[in-house]
């Protein structure tokens, strides 16, 4: 019996840190977008994450995220900014985008304590 998909339903706005960890360990193709600001990015980051600060999101997303069908996980510090970015992308027609529940803080607490907390 195949293991269940770690992807949440399309109508869900969040994905759990453990599910993102599973996607990474399975080498599942998706984009991991960090919408924190560059000073936060300099403190700590998740493996494979790409920086697209929320302050620049509206201007840069069409160039950096050209495929609205591509699966995307957005994260920030605690999950508030990434929820805004997720809703923004959904309104632009991106159907496979989710916010990392509890952000990089949740990742550090639940998946990888080596990721620095701040």
In the CATH hierarchy, which top-level class contains the domain 34-110? alpha beta
pLDDT band at 1 (very low <50, low <70, confident <90, very high): low
Task: Express each pLDDT in 70-111 by its tens digit.
Answer: 999 999 999 999 999 999 999 999 999 999 999 999 999 999
Please state the three-class secondary structure of the chain as a single string. Answer: CCCCCCCCCCCCCEECHHHHHHHHHCCCCCEEEECCCHHHHHHCCCCCCEECCHHHHHHHHHHHCCCCCCCEEEECCCCHHHHHHHHHHHHCCCCCEEEECCHHHHHHHHCCCCCCCC
Domains of the chain: which residue ranges? 34-110
The verdict on pTM exceeding 0.85 is yes
Task: Express each pLDDT in 26-59 by its tens digit.
Answer: 999 999 999 999 999 999 999 899 999 999 999 9
């Amino acid at each position: 019996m195949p293991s269940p998909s770690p992807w949440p339903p399309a109508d869900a706005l969040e994905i759990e840190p453990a599910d993102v960890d599973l996607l990474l360990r399975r080498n599942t193709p998706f984009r991991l977008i960090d919408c924190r600001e560059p000073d936060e990015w300099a403190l700590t980051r998740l493996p494979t994450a790409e920086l697209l600060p929320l302050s620049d999101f509206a201007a840069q997303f069409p160039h950096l995220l050209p495929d609205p069908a591509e699966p995307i996980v957005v994260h920030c510090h605690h999950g508030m900014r990434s929820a805004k970015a997720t809703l923004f992308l959904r309104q632009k027609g991106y159907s496979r985008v989710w916010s990392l529940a509890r952000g990089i803080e949740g990742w550090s607490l639940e998946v990888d304590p080596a990721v620095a907390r701040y």
